[in-house]
Structure 1
Amino acid sequence: MALKIVQQIATHSKAKSHYIAAVFVALSCLFWSFDAANAASRVKDIAEFEGIRDNILVGYGLVVGLNGTGDSLPNSPFTEQSLTSMLERLGVNTSDETLKTKNVAAVVVTATLPPFQRQGTKIDIVVSSLGDATNLMGGTLVVTPLMAADGEVYAVAQGTLTVAGFAAGGAAESITRGVPTTARVVNGAIVERELGFDLAALTSLRISLRNPDLTTSRRIAAAINKYIGTTVAEPSDPSTVILNLDGSQRENMVELLADIEQLQVNPDQIARVVIDEQSGIIVIGSEVRVDTVAIAQGNLTVRITETPQVSQPAPFSENGETVVVPRTNIEVDDDSDKKLTILKEGVRLQDLVDGLNALGIGPRDMISILQAIKAAGALQADIELM
């Protein structure tokens, strides 16, 4: 579109003097709209709708069929009790017997129940060893009920385990790769109960922001009201936007929410610097600003090297003896090649990084410098230590 405008202006001889100006105006508008579109995010990427959420399931079960890598029953009494209870339910009486099997392992089964999952559909499960089993490869999970936080059973799991890691060894050496005591079963659980949630019957719906912010919640409400054409959304707090719906707007709730989650919003965020001192990782937000400050960084290093030498008397000497003469070499490095760098007021993230890199500063020293700038009141951002 911008190129067509430029070509039309160029065809008129009287407008030749405005040709260059039109080029800059058209291209600047084109690039501005491109940057604005890239900066915006969809509502579905920064917020969640009430009721459309995952639910966590957990269960306790037994894995059988292991090749001698299961729990040792004397060290895992809960495994023996579970095995005995399962056999009794199957009609096998083991009350007077001592079990010595190594092919069974007690496990915890976890799963995520997606929203609106219907009865009879299948979901993936993760199986993790609870006792002293060394490897779950080749095992089969027997029927295990999976419960939610309300104590109700929502799915039943069973299936052959798939282990990503492995363990092998001999008398003198062993090797383990990955975690062989954790396994996964694709489509290993069948949903037996549905979560009761009637989306179409809601008269109001809450939209929860993943990163709470007052400005972002207001922008989301403004975008929704502009799309619908009336005031139906209003922010109630930094993390919630309430969507009030009347009868006409609830006729097709799925279509309405699908349109809302595709709306483009520019999310705002607090200027923040996140520091992980253990690993030396530094993440600096784009909104971080620095007032005018001078930075110098240097360390005093003293190196002392001992190179003793052997001193011997002249040949055929009667009074001389062989001795060790100490030789000490001392070097002092005060980092005199490091210069003082001045960061001007209101510098951007790129300017801050360039200025610190100009000093030859590594991540460890950069953490101390950022904390010192914050202590001096020149860093307009929050520092969060992980």
Structure 2
Amino acid sequence: MRQQDAIMRQLAQKVTDFIEPVVPYMVIGSKRAAEEAVNKVGPAVWELKKKLWEKLFSRDRPELKEAAGDLVIAPSDPEVKQVLIRAIINSFEKDPDLAKEISSFMEDELIQRMIVEQRMRTEDGSVKLIKQDSSEKTRVLEEFNKLLEEFTAKNNTVSTAHDLEQLEAESGKEETMEKALDFASKIQYGDLRSQALSLIVPYLKGPEKVKLIEKTLYSTSNIQDEDERARVLSSLVPHLKRQGKEEIIEDILDFSPHIQYGDAKFQILSSLVPHLEESINEVILEKALEMASGIQSDFLRVQSFSLLIPHLKGQRKEEIIEEALELASNLKDKDMRPQALSFIILYLDESRKKEIFEKALEMATGIKSESRRAQALFSLVPYMVGL
């Protein structure tokens, strides 16, 4: 359940980020608004965003439309955006088929490219990573942007070429991609390097894809900032097909001892778990458990174990469940204990499930803070039916 929650939240976040620039035009819904949106983002982008909007908002979900309307009124308020994300998550929970449909839509290669370009595009429509005061950083950015724009132009040429022209265009595109990746890997500024690398990843494809991603991985290991490194590492695996995926996951897990901050480790681990196959290699699974064990926060460690438990079997599964229950029951912040226990209840047998649920419920009802008590009780709601 917790693994599914993480997947749903990531999907809802991605959907919200994708439609956010055109939400005002969608909410207004007039012909004039559509024309303005086309002028702003282009006809092809508008049609795809409109298609996604219709998939979500054509359903009987008044809370979605209300949340979207609030985002138009207060576009810079992060809390308002979170309300929309939560409303989308609720829609996915009520309609799993819709979640599958939207997930498939967002995984389309064209959508992935648009997401990258949206992150790069400034208000005037020019392609940039970020604005920097440093003249040296500006020069580096301009040079990298030039390479990426060259690659994008060649990528468009490939889509319209035929036969021999197609082969020549593909060759030129791969060469330009290699140049961009080499350049990004050697950027001395850690923040710029991580952003450049993460922007390149969605464009990687073809027989050299695994090799290029491995190169990105090793370059990322030199990024000192933990959050920046985690962001790039967690962006790698979703762009891999089945072939080579396990090797990349194992390589990423091998880097975990070099990542000091637990929240960065949790971010990476939670991004990897949805891509673990049912018959996951035991070596990889043990490395994932080792990574989870290295997370300093007991709460995040419990949550990490809960993501991995579905992939465990036999005695090893029982050991991790017991370790997680022990951690959850003894958190220093007593108000967080019920929520931590809720991560594990799902994986217990029926008799034990009832015992731990009652224990967590007693803890939750005893919390003095009204808001924290409500949060704790809400985490236990899924288990109230049938117990």
Structure with more contact order per residue of length (Cα contacts < 8 Å, sep ≥ 6): 1
Going by fraction, where is strand more abundant, 1 or 2?
Answer: 1
Q: Please identify the structure whose Cα radius of gyration is greater.
A: 1
- TM-score (norm: length of structure 2): 0.21
Q: TM-score, normalised by structure 1?
A: 0.21
The structure with the largest helix share of the pair is 2
